[in-house]
Amino acid sequence: MFKLTSLNLNGIRSATTKGVEAWIAATQPDCICVQEIKAQAPDLAGRFEELASLKGHFHLAEKKGYSGVGVYTRHEPSDVVLGFDGGEFDAEGRYVELRFDTPQRKFSIISSYFPSGSSGEERQQAKFRFLALMHPHLMALKQQRDFVLCGDINIAHQQADLKNWKGNQKNSGFLPEERAWMTQLLADGLVDVYRRLQPDTTDACYTWWSNRGQAYAKNVGWRLDYHLATPAIAETARTEAIYKGEKFSDHAPITVEYELAL
Protein backbone atom coordinates (compact mmCIF):
# COMPACT_ATOMS: atom_id res chain seq x y z
CA MET A 1 0.00 0.00 0.00
CA PHE A 2 1.09 3.56 -0.74
CA LYS A 3 0.13 6.04 1.98
CA LEU A 4 -0.31 9.63 0.78
CA THR A 5 -1.13 12.54 3.09
CA SER A 6 -2.04 16.15 2.36
CA LEU A 7 -1.89 18.99 4.90
CA ASN A 8 -2.05 22.76 4.79
CA LEU A 9 0.56 23.64 7.43
CA ASN A 10 -0.38 27.31 7.85
CA GLY A 11 3.34 27.88 8.33
CA ILE A 12 5.91 25.10 8.55
CA ARG A 13 7.62 26.61 11.57
CA SER A 14 4.32 26.91 13.41
CA ALA A 15 3.19 23.37 12.53
CA THR A 16 6.46 21.82 13.68
CA THR A 17 6.17 23.53 17.07
CA LYS A 18 2.75 21.85 17.35
CA GLY A 19 4.12 18.36 16.77
CA VAL A 20 3.56 17.65 13.08
CA GLU A 21 6.99 16.12 12.58
CA ALA A 22 6.47 13.55 15.36
CA TRP A 23 3.07 12.73 13.89
CA ILE A 24 4.60 12.14 10.44
CA ALA A 25 7.25 9.91 12.02
CA ALA A 26 4.55 7.93 13.85
CA THR A 27 2.13 7.53 10.90
CA GLN A 28 4.89 6.94 8.31
CA PRO A 29 3.31 8.13 5.08
CA ASP A 30 5.23 7.34 1.91
CA CYS A 31 4.61 10.90 0.85
CA ILE A 32 3.12 14.04 2.39
CA CYS A 33 2.03 17.00 0.28
CA VAL A 34 2.14 20.27 2.20
CA GLN A 35 0.74 23.70 1.45
CA GLU A 36 1.18 27.18 2.90
CA ILE A 37 4.76 26.60 3.98
CA LYS A 38 5.19 30.37 4.48
CA ALA A 39 8.98 30.23 4.26
CA GLN A 40 11.89 31.03 1.94
CA ALA A 41 14.76 28.74 0.94
CA PRO A 42 17.12 30.06 3.67
CA ASP A 43 14.43 29.30 6.29
CA LEU A 44 14.22 25.68 5.12
CA ALA A 45 17.97 25.10 4.83
CA GLY A 46 19.34 22.71 7.42
CA ARG A 47 16.05 22.33 9.26
CA PHE A 48 13.10 21.63 6.98
CA GLU A 49 14.73 20.07 3.90
CA GLU A 50 13.71 16.78 5.50
CA LEU A 51 10.90 15.93 7.87
CA ALA A 52 10.80 12.57 9.68
CA SER A 53 13.39 11.20 7.21
CA LEU A 54 11.31 12.23 4.17
CA LYS A 55 13.09 14.42 1.61
CA GLY A 56 11.34 17.64 0.62
CA HIS A 57 10.89 19.24 -2.80
CA PHE A 58 9.49 22.76 -2.79
CA HIS A 59 7.95 25.54 -4.85
CA LEU A 60 8.19 28.69 -2.76
CA ALA A 61 6.62 32.11 -3.15
CA GLU A 62 8.71 35.15 -4.03
CA LYS A 63 6.90 37.08 -1.29
CA LYS A 64 8.14 36.40 2.25
CA GLY A 65 5.87 34.53 4.64
CA TYR A 66 3.38 33.65 1.93
CA SER A 67 2.01 30.51 0.25
CA GLY A 68 4.58 27.89 -0.82
CA VAL A 69 4.05 24.17 -1.42
CA GLY A 70 6.11 21.03 -1.03
CA VAL A 71 6.18 17.25 -1.25
CA TYR A 72 8.09 15.19 1.29
CA THR A 73 8.78 11.68 0.01
CA ARG A 74 10.74 8.53 0.82
CA HIS A 75 10.99 7.73 -2.93
CA GLU A 76 13.34 9.56 -5.29
CA PRO A 77 11.41 11.20 -8.13
CA SER A 78 12.52 10.88 -11.73
CA ASP A 79 11.74 14.57 -12.26
CA VAL A 80 10.46 17.61 -10.34
CA VAL A 81 8.28 20.27 -12.01
CA LEU A 82 7.95 23.65 -10.32
CA GLY A 83 4.97 25.77 -11.29
CA PHE A 84 2.40 25.42 -14.04
CA ASP A 85 1.50 28.79 -15.53
CA GLY A 86 4.87 30.50 -16.03
CA GLY A 87 3.64 33.77 -14.56
CA GLU A 88 1.36 35.20 -11.91
CA PHE A 89 0.77 32.06 -9.87
CA ASP A 90 4.20 30.53 -10.23
CA ALA A 91 5.49 33.65 -8.48
CA GLU A 92 3.17 32.74 -5.59
CA GLY A 93 4.56 29.20 -5.17
CA ARG A 94 1.40 27.18 -5.72
CA TYR A 95 2.37 24.01 -7.64
CA VAL A 96 5.03 21.33 -7.34
CA GLU A 97 4.83 18.05 -9.27
CA LEU A 98 6.99 15.02 -8.54
CA ARG A 99 7.20 12.50 -11.36
CA PHE A 100 7.83 8.83 -10.68
CA ASP A 101 8.16 7.46 -14.20
CA THR A 102 9.07 3.93 -15.23
CA PRO A 103 9.01 2.25 -18.66
CA GLN A 104 5.63 0.82 -17.64
CA ARG A 105 3.92 3.90 -16.23
CA LYS A 106 4.02 7.67 -16.03
CA PHE A 107 2.80 8.84 -12.63
CA SER A 108 2.90 12.18 -10.76
CA ILE A 109 2.14 13.41 -7.27
CA ILE A 110 1.22 17.10 -7.16
CA SER A 111 0.95 19.44 -4.19
CA SER A 112 -1.05 22.56 -4.97
CA TYR A 113 -2.42 25.48 -3.00
CA PHE A 114 -5.36 27.17 -4.71
CA PRO A 115 -5.85 30.87 -3.95
CA SER A 116 -8.38 32.03 -1.39
CA GLY A 117 -10.72 34.81 -2.40
CA SER A 118 -11.95 35.55 1.11
CA SER A 119 -9.86 38.70 1.62
CA GLY A 120 -11.71 40.66 -1.06
CA GLU A 121 -12.73 41.04 -4.69
CA GLU A 122 -9.20 41.48 -6.00
CA ARG A 123 -8.12 38.07 -4.67
CA GLN A 124 -11.40 36.49 -5.75
CA GLN A 125 -10.67 37.57 -9.33
CA ALA A 126 -7.15 36.11 -8.98
CA LYS A 127 -8.74 32.86 -7.82
CA PHE A 128 -10.96 32.80 -10.90
CA ARG A 129 -7.89 33.39 -13.11
CA PHE A 130 -6.12 30.51 -11.35
CA LEU A 131 -9.06 28.16 -11.90
CA ALA A 132 -9.26 29.16 -15.57
CA LEU A 133 -5.61 28.17 -16.01
CA MET A 134 -5.64 25.06 -13.84
CA HIS A 135 -8.47 23.22 -15.59
CA PRO A 136 -6.83 23.00 -19.04
CA HIS A 137 -3.47 22.27 -17.40
CA LEU A 138 -4.88 19.24 -15.58
CA MET A 139 -6.78 18.07 -18.65
CA ALA A 140 -3.59 18.18 -20.75
CA LEU A 141 -1.65 16.39 -18.01
CA LYS A 142 -4.32 13.69 -17.83
CA GLN A 143 -3.70 12.90 -21.49
CA GLN A 144 -0.02 12.27 -20.77
CA ARG A 145 0.13 10.56 -17.37
CA ASP A 146 -1.69 9.34 -14.28
CA PHE A 147 -1.53 11.62 -11.26
CA VAL A 148 -3.00 12.55 -7.93
CA LEU A 149 -3.21 16.21 -6.98
CA CYS A 150 -3.28 16.80 -3.23
CA GLY A 151 -4.03 20.21 -1.93
CA ASP A 152 -5.99 22.95 -0.29
CA ILE A 153 -8.41 23.65 -3.13
CA ASN A 154 -10.28 26.35 -1.18
CA ILE A 155 -13.61 25.13 -2.60
CA ALA A 156 -16.34 23.23 -0.75
CA HIS A 157 -17.98 21.42 -3.65
CA GLN A 158 -21.39 20.36 -2.34
CA GLN A 159 -23.76 21.25 0.49
CA ALA A 160 -22.46 18.22 2.44
CA ASP A 161 -18.96 19.74 2.37
CA LEU A 162 -19.57 22.55 4.87
CA LYS A 163 -21.68 23.07 7.96
CA ASN A 164 -23.43 26.35 7.15
CA TRP A 165 -24.00 26.01 3.42
CA LYS A 166 -27.13 28.20 3.39
CA GLY A 167 -25.30 31.17 4.88
CA ASN A 168 -22.22 30.81 2.69
CA GLN A 169 -23.66 30.83 -0.83
CA LYS A 170 -22.28 34.31 -1.48
CA ASN A 171 -18.93 33.69 0.22
CA SER A 172 -15.65 32.70 -1.39
CA GLY A 173 -15.15 28.96 -1.25
CA PHE A 174 -18.81 28.17 -1.88
CA LEU A 175 -19.64 30.50 -4.76
CA PRO A 176 -21.70 28.98 -7.59
CA GLU A 177 -18.89 29.64 -10.09
CA GLU A 178 -16.31 27.84 -7.91
CA ARG A 179 -18.58 24.86 -7.34
CA ALA A 180 -19.37 24.71 -11.05
CA TRP A 181 -15.63 24.63 -11.79
CA MET A 182 -15.24 21.60 -9.54
CA THR A 183 -18.30 19.90 -11.06
CA GLN A 184 -16.82 20.40 -14.53
CA LEU A 185 -13.41 19.09 -13.47
CA LEU A 186 -15.01 15.88 -12.20
CA ALA A 187 -17.25 15.60 -15.26
CA ASP A 188 -14.11 15.86 -17.41
CA GLY A 189 -12.62 12.79 -15.81
CA LEU A 190 -10.87 13.54 -12.54
CA VAL A 191 -12.02 11.79 -9.36
CA ASP A 192 -12.62 13.26 -5.90
CA VAL A 193 -11.01 10.33 -4.07
CA TYR A 194 -12.47 11.06 -0.65
CA ARG A 195 -16.00 11.14 -2.07
CA ARG A 196 -15.35 7.93 -3.98
CA LEU A 197 -14.62 6.23 -0.64
CA GLN A 198 -17.07 8.24 1.50
CA PRO A 199 -19.96 9.40 -0.70
CA ASP A 200 -22.34 10.32 2.11
CA THR A 201 -20.38 11.79 5.04
CA THR A 202 -21.16 15.31 6.23
CA ASP A 203 -19.80 16.44 9.62
CA ALA A 204 -16.94 13.91 9.48
CA CYS A 205 -15.58 15.21 6.16
CA TYR A 206 -14.41 18.69 7.24
CA THR A 207 -10.73 19.57 6.98
CA TRP A 208 -10.73 23.30 7.85
CA TRP A 209 -12.22 25.38 10.64
CA SER A 210 -12.25 29.14 11.12
CA ASN A 211 -10.34 30.47 14.12
CA ARG A 212 -13.41 32.48 15.04
CA GLY A 213 -16.22 31.61 17.43
CA GLN A 214 -15.25 28.11 18.59
CA ALA A 215 -15.69 26.73 15.07
CA TYR A 216 -13.33 23.83 15.76
CA ALA A 217 -14.90 22.89 19.08
CA LYS A 218 -18.36 22.99 17.52
CA ASN A 219 -17.16 21.31 14.28
CA VAL A 220 -18.43 24.17 12.13
CA GLY A 221 -16.10 23.27 9.29
CA TRP A 222 -15.48 23.06 5.57
CA ARG A 223 -14.02 20.33 3.36
CA LEU A 224 -11.35 22.27 1.46
CA ASP A 225 -8.55 19.68 1.18
CA TYR A 226 -8.70 17.07 -1.58
CA HIS A 227 -7.06 14.19 -3.35
CA LEU A 228 -7.98 14.62 -7.04
CA ALA A 229 -6.83 11.69 -9.15
CA THR A 230 -7.01 10.23 -12.61
CA PRO A 231 -9.44 7.29 -12.74
CA ALA A 232 -6.78 4.55 -12.82
CA ILE A 233 -5.22 5.89 -9.61
CA ALA A 234 -8.56 6.60 -7.91
CA GLU A 235 -9.55 2.98 -8.51
CA THR A 236 -6.66 1.87 -6.29
CA ALA A 237 -7.75 4.00 -3.28
CA ARG A 238 -8.62 1.75 -0.35
CA THR A 239 -8.84 3.80 2.86
CA GLU A 240 -9.16 7.44 3.89
CA ALA A 241 -8.59 9.18 7.19
CA ILE A 242 -8.96 12.79 8.36
CA TYR A 243 -6.88 13.14 11.52
CA LYS A 244 -8.26 15.36 14.28
CA GLY A 245 -6.44 13.91 17.29
CA GLU A 246 -4.01 16.83 17.32
CA LYS A 247 -4.23 20.31 15.80
CA PHE A 248 -1.16 21.23 13.76
CA SER A 249 -2.82 24.12 11.89
CA ASP A 250 -6.32 25.34 11.01
CA HIS A 251 -6.49 22.37 8.60
CA ALA A 252 -6.54 18.65 9.36
CA PRO A 253 -4.34 16.18 7.44
CA ILE A 254 -6.17 13.89 5.03
CA THR A 255 -4.55 10.54 4.23
CA VAL A 256 -5.49 8.03 1.53
CA GLU A 257 -3.96 4.59 1.09
CA TYR A 258 -3.59 3.47 -2.53
CA GLU A 259 -2.90 -0.05 -3.67
CA LEU A 260 0.06 0.89 -5.81
CA ALA A 261 3.83 0.79 -5.62
CA LEU A 262 6.37 3.37 -6.76
Residue 256 is which amino acid?
V
pLDDT digits (tens, 9 = 90+) for 43-63: 999 999 999 999 999 999 999
pLDDT at 207: 98
7: left (phi over 0), alpha (psi -120 to 50) or beta: beta
pTM comes to: 0.97
> To the nearest whole percent, how much of the chain has pLDDT over 90?
98
- Give Cα separations from 245 to 141, 166, 252 (angstroms): 36, 29, 9
CATH code of the domain covering residue 124:
3.60.10.10
d(CA 262, CA 245): 29
Q: Which residue of the set 30, 146, 152, 161 is catalytic? A: 152
pLDDT band at 213 (very low <50, low <70, confident <90, very high): confident
Q: Has 152 been annotated as catalytic?
A: yes
Give the mean pLDDT of the chain.
97
What is the side-by-side order of every strand in the sheet holding 254-258?
50-51, 54-59, 69-73, 31-35, 2-8, 254-258, 237-242
Number of independent structural domains in the chain: 1
**Residue 122's domain spans which residues?**
2-258
